Amino acid sequence: MADNRPLPPGYSVPVHRSLTVPILLAGAPRLATIVNGTLAAALGIGLQLWGVGLVFWIVAQGICVFAARRDPQFADVLIRHIRTRGYYAC
């Protein structure tokens, strides 16, 4: 049942959109983008495999952007999934 009475002064607080939207870099979560860039730089600079590093970054970033479109917090969920042991593991 909807109540259409006006709220008393000071009862409602505006919530800015920037407080609820996750931080994304290049369309992927910040942590995933930093990890992708670090691994691509290690391949490109450290092992002198420039092409492999660039291809790795493009593919990994694309996968992260695809996953972030479905769930912007997929990196946090993945980390929690890896850290938590299953109850019914044999």
pLDDT score recorded for residue 9: 77
Tokens of 40: 């691509």
At residue 11, the pLDDT reads 77
Q: What is the pLDDT of residue 24?
A: 86
Tens place of pLDDT for every residue, the chain, 90 residues? 556 777 777 777 778 888 888 888 889 999 999 999 999 999 999 888 899 999 999 999 999 999 999 998 898 898 998 888 777 666
pLDDT of residue 45: 92
pTM exceeds cut of 0.75 = no
How many whole angstroms separate alpha carbon 87 and alpha carbon 89? 6
Give the pair of three-digit tokens for residue 70: 């479905």
Cβ-count burial of 48 within 10 angstroms (0-12 exposed, 13-18 middle, 19+ buried)? exposed
